[in-house]
Structure 1
Amino acid sequence: MPSEYTVHVAIELSLSSWLVAFRSPGVEKSRLHHIEGGDTTALLALITAERLRVSTKLGAETIDVACCFEADRDGFWLHRLLTANGFNSYVLEPTSVLVNRRARRAKTDRLDAEGMLRVLAAWLGGDRQICSMVRVPSPEEDAKRPHRERELLVQERQRIENRIEALLFTQGIRKRPSLRSWARDMDELRTGDGRAIPPLMRAELDRFRRRLVIILELIREVEAEQASALAAAADNETAQKIIALQRIRGIGENFSAVLVREVLYRSFANRRQLASYVGIAPMPYQSGGMDRDRSISRAGNPRARTTLIQLAWLWLRYQPGSTLATWFRERVGTLKGRTRRIAIVAMARKLLIALWRYVETGLLPEGVEISQEANAMA
C-alpha cells in the first residue's frame, strides 16, 4: 500500500509523443508534460525531478512514486524499466475501467491521462473494482513465442492453400496439384471446358506455390527449434509437464506446449479459477427466483481455449475408453448440432481439470491410454 506521500504518475503512450501527468499529495490539479515518444531518459528525469520537488515542498525525506499506463502495443518493457529504477509501476487493463455510458465521451490524451490518475489513486486506496491491473509476464515467458509463431504460420499456410483451391475452382478444377509434382500436374490439368490453365493464372498459382513451400519450411524449422529446446531443458519443471502430457495418446508436441506454456505453467488455487483463466467457466445468473448458469465467459486466454476445444474433439477419437469420453457419449448420445457443441465445451472444462491434476500430482485420468512411444521408452 502507498504512503500518504505518494506522487501518482500516468503516462499516455502514443507513437509520436507521450503525455506524462503528475498528481502530488494533497493537490487535486494535475501537472502535464509532453515528451517525445520512447524518450525514456526524459521520462525518468521528469519523474525524478517531480519527486524531488514534492520532497522539498513537503519536507519529507521519502516520497513514493506510483506510475501507470495502459496495456497496448508497447508491451511491458516500460514497466520493467520503471521498476528497475525504483518506481512502483502498474499496467491498467483498458477495457476494465468503469466509464459513464449515458452518452458519447470526449476523447483526448489529457482526459485519458487524468482519468488514469483517478483510477490509479482509487485502486491504490483499496477500490479493486474500479479496474483490473495486468499481471506483467516475466522475460522467461519468451518460451511462448515458438508455438505462437507456429500458429501464425499454420494460419498463413491454410490461407494460401484455400486461395489456390479457390482459383482452380473458378476454372472448374476441383483437385489441387501436389507440391511434389507441381509442374507435371499443372501441365495435365484442364479447365471445366477442356482448356489449359490460362498463363497469367498459372503464373499466379506458381507464386502461391513458392510461398507455400517457404511457409512449410518455416513450420518445420520452428518445430525443430521447439524439440531441441525441450530436450535441452528436460530438467525444467515446465519441460517435464510438457513431456508428461506427451505420454498421453492423442496429445502431441504442439498441444502439450500450448497447454503448458499458456496455462499449466501457472499455479491455481482451485478448478474454477483454472477454468476462469481459460474462459470456459459458466457465468452465474441469479435474479429473484431464477438461479442458473449461463454460457461460458470467454474472458480468458483465447489461444488456450481454442486449443482445448480442439483437443476435446480429438480426445473422443484417441481416448474412446476414457471416463470423459464415456461421459460425453452418455450425455449426448446421437444428438447433433448445438447440443453436441455445448457438451464438448463442458467436456473440455473437465479435460482441462483432469490434465491439470495429472501434471501437478501425476494422477492419470481414469481410463486413459498411454502412447506407444511412451510405452516403448518405459
Structure 2
Amino acid sequence: MFQVHGVDAHGRTVLRKQLARHQVAAFFANLPPCLVGMEACGSAHFWARKLSTLGHVVKLMAPQFVKPYVKGSKTDAADAEAICEAVSRPNMRFVPVKQPEQQALLAVHRARAAFVKARTAQANQLRGLLAEFGMVIPLGLAALRQRLPMILEDAENGLPGMMRELVARLVEHLQVLDQQVAELERQIQLWHRQSEPSRQLAAIPGIGPITATALVASIGDARSFANGRQLAAWLGLVPRQHSSGGKPVLRGISKRGDVYLRTLLIHGARAVIGHFERQRDQTDGWLKRLLSRRHRNISVVALANKNARIVWALLANDRQYSANYPSTLLAA
C-alpha cells in the first residue's frame, strides 16, 4: 500500500489517500505537476523515475532524516505527513535518483558479494567437517583448494565412504560458486573498461575495478556533494561527533551510508599499507608520518577517508589522478 499526503502552497492538508500499487501510476498521471517527496527505500528509484516522466518533481530522502518529523505513533498516515513536511525544508539533504544502468551494475555487485559470502561459508563448513576426522586445513581458499583433492584421493586417511561422497559434493558446490563469482567479475571488468570515470578512479592506489565501478554506480553525479568531506561522511568514514558546550568531542567513525562501499575502500587502504610495510621506501611522506604516530587500523581508515575525497575531486572536476598533485600545486 502507498499512503499519499498532500498540502497546498500554505501548508494546509488537502489530501489524504491510500493507494494500492496498481493505482499509483494512474493517480499521479491525473494529478497536476507538483513536488513529490519519498523515502529512499525499496523501489523508490523506480517510482521516482516513473513519476518524473509524468511531469512531477521527485525528491528522495534518507529515512533517518524523515523520522524527526513524525508526530505521535508510527502509522502510514503519520509517516506520509512527516515526509511531506520534510521535503519542504530548505536545508533538507536529498538522495540523487539512480538510473537503471546504475541499479543494474549495483545488482551485479550485490549478487557477487552474496556468492563470495556463500563461498566463504561453504569453505568454512568443509574445513570444520574435515577437522572432525583429524584433517586440519589452514585458513584461506588457496590452501583448501590445494588440500581437498589430496584428501579425496588418499584412500588410507580413514575417511568413511559416506563422508568422502559428501566432501566431493561440497567441493563441486564450491567450484560452482567460484564460477559464479568469476563470471560476475568479468561483467564488472567489462563495464569498467567501457567507463571513463571508472578508469579514472582505478588509478588511485587502493582502488581497483571492483571498487571503482561500485563507486561510480553509487555516487552518480559527484556534484550533488558540496565537497569531498560530504562524500566521506556519506560513506561513514568521518568521526562521529558528540560535542556540547563549546567542547568538541570526536569519537570513532560514524559508519553511516553504504557498508559495501566503505568495506571496499577500507580493504583497499589496508592493501596499500601492507604494500608500504613491505617496501617502506616507496611511499609518500603523508602516509609515512601517519603510520609513525597512529595505530595501523586508524591509518587504514584515514587513508580510506583520503581516497574518498580524491574520488570526489576526480569525479566532480573530471580530472585524472596524479600522485604528486599536492607538490605540483605548491610549486605552482
1:272 is aligned to 2:229 = yes
Deviates more, 1:207-216 or 1:22-31: 22-31
Contact 1:65 1:87 in 2 (8 A): yes
1:86 is aligned to 2:55 = yes
- Alignment match, 1:43: 24
What is the CA distance between 1:331 and its match in structure 2? 1.4
Contact 1:144 1:262 in 2 (8 A): yes
- Alignment match, 1:229: 191
d(CA) in 2 for partners of 1:100, 1:189: 69
Contact 1:67 1:87 in 2 (8 A): yes
Q: Which has the higher contact order (CA 8 A, sep 6+)?
A: 2
- Alignment match, 1:119: 83
Cα shift readout 1:132-161 (whole Å, capped 9, x = no counterpart) = 543221223133344333222222211111
Contact 2:48 2:58 in 1 (8 A): yes
Contact 2:201 2:212 in 1 (8 A): yes
d(CA) in 1 for partners of 2:144, 2:129: 15
d(CA) in 2 for partners of 1:347, 1:243: 15
- Alignment match, 1:208: 170
Query: What one-letter code is carried by the residue in structure 1 that aligns with 2:24?
Result: L
Q: TM-score, normalised by structure 2?
A: 0.77
**Which residues of 2 match residues 13-92 of structure 1 at below 5 A?**
13=1, 18-22=2-6, 28=13, 30-35=15-20, 38-39=21-22, 42-48=23-29, 51=31, 63-92=32-61
The percent of aligned pairs where both chains have the same amino acid is: 23
- Alignment match, 2:199: 240
d(CA) in 1 for partners of 2:6, 2:257: 33
d(CA) in 2 for partners of 1:31, 1:226: 44
Deviates more, 1:339-348 or 1:166-175: 339-348
Number of equivalences: 311
- Alignment match, 1:375: none
Deviates more, 1:144-153 or 1:219-228: 144-153
- Alignment match, 1:345: 301
Query: What one-letter code is carried by the residue in structure 1 that aligns with 2:25?
Result: L
d(CA) in 1 for partners of 2:261, 2:176: 27
Distance 1:178 1:66, change over 3 A: closer
**Which residues of 2 match residues 1-378 of structure 1 at below 5 A?**
13=1, 18-22=2-6, 28=13, 30-35=15-20, 38-39=21-22, 42-48=23-29, 51=31, 63-99=32-68, 106-107=73-74, 111-121=75-85, 123-124=87-88, 126=89, 128=91, 133-141=94-102, 142-175=104-137, 179=145, 182=148, 185-188=151-154, 196-231=158-193, 233=194, 236-242=195-201, 244-245=203-204, 251-263=207-219, 266-267=222-223, 268-288=225-245, 290-319=247-276, 320=280, 321-323=282-284, 324-332=286-294, 339-354=295-310, 357=313, 360-366=318-324
Contact 1:187 1:196 in 2 (8 A): no
Q: TM-score, normalised by structure 1?
A: 0.69
- RMSD of Structure 2 on Structure 1 (CA): 3.5
Cα shift readout 1:225-270 (whole Å, capped 9, x = no counterpart) = 2333334x2xx4324314534xx5x654334434444458623443
Distance 1:361 1:92, change over 3 A: closer
Query: What one-letter code is carried by the residue in structure 2 that aligns with 1:343?
Result: S
Query: What one-letter code is carried by the residue in structure 2 that aligns with 1:113?
Result: A
What is the CA distance between 1:213 and its match in structure 2? 0.6
d(CA) in 2 for partners of 1:352, 1:346: 10
Distance 1:305 1:264, change over 3 A: farther
User: Which runs of 5 or more structure 2 residues have no equivalent in the other structure?
Assistant: 326-332
d(CA) in 2 for partners of 1:264, 1:33: 32
Distance 1:356 1:366, change over 3 A: farther
Contact 2:37 2:83 in 1 (8 A): no
Distance 1:180 1:169, change over 3 A: closer
Higher share in helix? 2
Contact 1:309 1:344 in 2 (8 A): yes
Cα shift readout 1:181-210 (whole Å, capped 9, x = no counterpart) = 8555224277xxxx7223443333222211
Contact 1:284 1:291 in 2 (8 A): yes
SS of 2:34's equivalent?
strand
Contact 1:21 1:114 in 2 (8 A): no
Query: What one-letter code is carried by the residue in structure 1 that aligns with 2:175?
Result: V
Query: What one-letter code is carried by the residue in structure 1 that aligns with 2:229?
Result: R
